[in-house]
Chains A and B, each alone.
Chain A
Amino acid sequence: MIRIAIIEDELPAIQKLKRFIAELEEPTEVVGEMGSIAEAIEFLQSTTVDLLISDIQLHDGTAFDIYQQVSLGCPIIFTTAYDQYWMNAFETNGIDYLLKPFSKDRFLKAWNKFLLLRKSEKLKDVQLTNLYKLIEENLSEKKFKKRFAVQNGQRIYLLEVNTVVLLEAKDGLVLAHDKDGKKHILNYPTLREAEAQLDPADFYRLNRSELICKNYIEKVERFSKNILAVKLKGYPEYYKTSQATTASFREWLDQ
Chain B
Amino acid sequence: MSQLKAQLNPHFLFNNLNVLDQLIYEDKERASEFLNEFADIYRYVLQADNLKLVPVTEELRFAEQYYNLIEHKYGKSYQLKIDRRDREGYIIPLTLQLLIENAVKHNLGTSADPVRINISIGEDIIVSNNRKPKRIENSISGKALNNLKEQYQLLTKQVVEIEETELVFLVRVPKIHNAQ
- Give residues in A with beta carbon < 8 Å to B: 9-13, 15-16, 19, 36-38, 57, 59-61, 65, 81-82, 99-102
Q: Is the CB of B105 within 8 A of A59?
A: yes
A residues less than 8 Å from B137 (CB atoms): 60-61
Beyond A12-B22, A65-B136, A99-B14: 20 further Cβ-contacts under 8 Å? Answer: A12-B23, A12-B72, A13-B18, A13-B19, A13-B22, A13-B73, A16-B25, A36-B108, A36-B134, A37-B134, A59-B105, A60-B108, A81-B13, A81-B15, A81-B17, A82-B9, A82-B11, A100-B15, A101-B17, A102-B18
Q: How far is the CA of A81 from the CA of B14 in the complex (A)?
A: 5
**Smallest beta-carbon distance A110→chain B, Å:** 15
Chain A residues near B75: list those with CB within 8 A: 11
The minimal Cβ–Cβ distance linking A15 to chain B, given in whole angstroms, is: 5
Question: Does B178 sit at the interface, judged by CB under 8 A?
Answer: no
Among B17, B22, B74, B135, the residue within 8 A (CB) of A15 is B22
Distance, CA A11 to CA B77, complexed state (A) = 11
Query: In chain B between 33 and 83, which residues have their CB closer than 8 angstroms to a CB of chain A?
Result: 72-75
* Interface pair A59/B20, CB less than 8 Å apart: no
A-B residue pairs in contact (CB < 8 Å), sample of 24: A9-B74, A10-B18, A11-B72, A12-B18, A13-B18, A13-B22, A16-B18, A16-B21, A16-B22, A19-B25, A37-B134, A38-B134, A38-B135, A59-B134, A60-B108, A60-B134, A60-B135, A81-B11, A81-B12, A81-B13, A81-B17, A81-B18, A101-B18, A102-B18
Residues of A within 8 A of B2 (CB): none
Distance from B131 Cβ to chain A, minimum over Cβ atoms (Å): 14
CB neighbours (8 Å) of A57 from chain B are 11
Q: C-beta contact mask, B134-171 vs A, less than 8 Å → 1, else 0?
A: 11111000000000000000000000000000000000
A16 and B19 CA atoms in complex are apart in Å by 8
Say yes or no: is B29 at the interface (Cβ < 8 Å to chain A).
Answer: no
B67 to chain A minimum Cβ distance, whole angstroms, is 15
How far, in Å, is A44 (CB) from chain B's closest CB? 15
> What residues on B are CB-neighbors of A82 within 8 Å?
9-11, 14
CB neighbours of B73 from chain A (8 A): 9-13
Number of A-B contacts (CB under 8 A): 79
Taking residues whose C-beta sits less than 8 angstroms from the other chain, chain B's interface range is 20 to 34
Q: What residues on B are CB-neighbors of A12 within 8 Å?
A: 18-19, 22-23, 26, 72-73
> Are A37 and B15 neighbours in the complex by a CB distance under 8 Å?
no
B18 contacts A61, CB within 8 Å? no
Please pick, from A37, A100, A102, the residue contacting B136 in the complex, using a CB distance under 8 A. A37
Q: Are the C-beta atoms of A101 and B136 separated by less than 8 Å? A: no
Contacts known (A12-B26, A60-B108); A100 close to B134, Cβ less than 8 A: no
- A contact residues around B23 at 8 Å (CB): 12
Q: Across the two chains, which residue of chain B brings its CB closest to A66?
A: B136
Complex: A197 Cα to B12 Cα, angstroms: 75
Q: How far apart sit A49 and B146, CA to CA, in the bound complex (Å)?
A: 42
Q: Are A38 and B136 in contact (CB under 8 A)?
A: yes
Cα separation A5 to B176 with both chains bound (whole Å): 50
| A36 CB, min distance to chain B CBs, angstroms | 6
Q: Cα distance A10–B21 when bound, in Å?
A: 13
How far is the CB of A107 from the nearest CB of chain B, in Å? 11
Give the docked Cα–Cα distance between A15 and B31 (Å): 14
CA distance A13 to B25 in the complex (A): 12
**Contact partner of A101 among B10, B14, B74, CB < 8 A?**
B14
Q: Which B residues lie within 8 Å of A65 (CB)?
A: 136
